[in-house]
């Protein structure tokens, strides 16, 4: 059985580590938050006092952290974890970060003979809990094959997007498109409602027509159209506006680096900025962008 060190057990990392335990892996956990670590212990992880302690004896190190800065400071530099890892270890970073940050960490790992992957995820907290995440991997094909059994314990789809950093590029392309079709869906639904249509009926019509898309059919942003989506619980839970803004920021930085034209991505980022400027909205699910188009009752 492989020993796994898991670093960063928040909303995503916590349930991912719990799935590894459930599938029979031995997981040693470290997080800066004691409360988060206690939850991990309740899920069957062993608690480590530091990141260095967590990786002692680990075959695989998995990290799920909030930012590129957190990932770089964990692994790089004289006090970085790479200094304490032998070449037999496999490093899998599942955080959503800039592709350049991922490439920097993977290159530094490579210099020490360590196989490393960027493997950001799609699916959110529900898929993390259900073990049905999609992993988008960047790195050597052999490293993806080594990682496959570990990733399969946490997800349903494992894609090899290309060399180091490619997982991050795939992730932000997907989330930029998601933001665009969510906004388009909210705008179209509101146009229909403002002209007397029932959002349920309009959703059925567009879903069976050429306007059909994931936001409309699987994650409808209009309250009351679909059960078990954030729109039907005051936009609570799900994927926050703040996290969508983070991903759109990464998409815009990437587009600037490659001189790519992304006008709809830029507009989507602006609209989410406008909506998320209010701290209450910022914590809501990203489908709450519907509220940007809804008129106050009576108007």
Asked if residue 188 lies in contact with residue 220, where contact means CB atoms within 8 angstroms, the answer is no
Shortest Å, Cβ 178 to ligand NAD: 11
Shortest Å, Cβ 235 to ligand NAD: 14
Nearer to ligand NAD, 36 or 193 (CB): 36
Give the DSSP letter string of 66-90.
S-HHHHHHHHSSTTSGGGG--TT-E
Distance between terminal CA atoms of the chain?
Answer: 63
Contact segment (CB under 6 A) with ligand NAD among 65-73, 76-84, 195-203, 276-284 equals 65-73
Q: Where are the alpha helices (DSSP H) in the chain?
A: 13-22, 34-42, 51-55, 68-75, 99-111, 124-130, 141-152, 166-194, 199-207, 214-218, 241-258, 263-276, 279-283, 290-293
Nearer to ligand NAD, 32 or 205 (CB): 32
Question: Parallel, antiparallel, or unpaired for β 90-93 and 115-118?
Answer: parallel
Total Cβ atoms within 10 A of residue 194: 12
Nearer to ligand NAD, 40 or 183 (CB): 40
Shortest Å, Cβ 102 to ligand NAD: 11
Asked if residue 263 lies in contact with residue 211, where contact means CB atoms within 8 angstroms, the answer is no
Shortest Å, Cβ 190 to ligand NAD: 25
Among 22, 32, 112, 236, binds ligand NAD (CB under 6 A): 32
Residue 131 contacts by C-beta under 8 Å, 6 or more apart in sequence? 19, 22, 153, 154, 155, 156
| Catalytic-labelled residue, pool 171, 218, 246, 269 | 171
Among 2, 44, 53, 70, binds ligand NAD (CB under 6 A): 70
Nearest-angstrom CA–CA distance, 240 and 67: 15
Q: Give yes or no for residue 5 binding ligand NAD (CB under 6 A).
A: no
Nearer to ligand NAD, 8 or 223 (CB): 8
Q: Give yes or no for residue 276 binding ligand NAD (CB under 6 A).
A: no
Total Cβ atoms within 10 A of residue 31: 26
Among 6, 25, 30, 219, binds ligand NAD (CB under 6 A): 30
Nearer to ligand NAD, 10 or 211 (CB): 10
Among 60, 64, 137, 158, binds ligand NAD (CB under 6 A): 64
For the question of residue 171 being annotated catalytic, the response is: yes
Nearest-angstrom CA–CA distance, 5 and 53: 9
Total Cβ atoms within 10 A of residue 123: 20
Contact segment (CB under 6 A) with ligand NAD among 121-129, 143-151, 197-205, 268-276 equals 121-129
Among 124, 155, 165, 221, binds ligand NAD (CB under 6 A): 124
- The residues assigned a catalytic role are 171
Residues that bind ligand NAD (CB under 6 A): 7-13, 30-33, 36, 51, 64-66, 70, 74, 95-96, 121, 124-125, 239, 243, 246
């Amino acid at each position: 059985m492989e020993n796994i060190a898991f670093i960063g057990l928040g909303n995503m990392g916590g349930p991912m580590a719990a799935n590894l335990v459930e599938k029979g892996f031995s997981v040693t956990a470290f997080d800066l938050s004691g409360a988060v670590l206690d939850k991990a212990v309740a899920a069957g992880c062993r608690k480590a006092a530091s990141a260095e302690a967590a990786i002692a004896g680990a075959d695989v190190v998995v990290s799920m952290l909030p930012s590129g800065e957190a990932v770089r400071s964990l692994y790089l530099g004289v006090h970085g974890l790479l200094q304490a890892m032998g070449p037999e270890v496999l490093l899998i970073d599942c955080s959503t970060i800039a592709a350049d940050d991922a490439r920097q960490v993977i290159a530094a790992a490579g210099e020490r003979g360590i196989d490393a992957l960027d493997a950001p995820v799609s699916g959110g907290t529900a898929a993390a809990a259900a073990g049905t995440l999609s992993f988008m991997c960047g790195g050597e094909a052999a490293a993806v094959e080594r990682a496959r059994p570990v990733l399969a314990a946490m997800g349903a789809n494992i894609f090899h997007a290309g060399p180091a950093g490619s997982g991050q590029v795939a992730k932000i392309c997907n989330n930029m498109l998601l933001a665009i079709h969510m906004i388009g869906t909210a705008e179209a639904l509101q146009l229909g409602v403002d002209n007397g249509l029932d959002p349920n009926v309009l959703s059925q019509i567009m879903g069976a027509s050429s306007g059909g898309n994931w936001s409309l059919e699987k994650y409808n942003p209009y309250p009351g159209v679909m059960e078990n989506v954030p729109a039907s619980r005051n936009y609570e839970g799900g994927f926050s506006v703040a996290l969508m803004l983070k991903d759109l920021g990464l998409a815009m930085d990437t587009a600037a680096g490659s001189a790519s034209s992304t006008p709809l991505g830029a507009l989507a980022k602006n609209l989410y900025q406008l909506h998320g400027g209010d701290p209450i909205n910022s914590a809501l699910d990203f489908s709450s962008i519907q509220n940007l188009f809804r008129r106050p009752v009576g108007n």
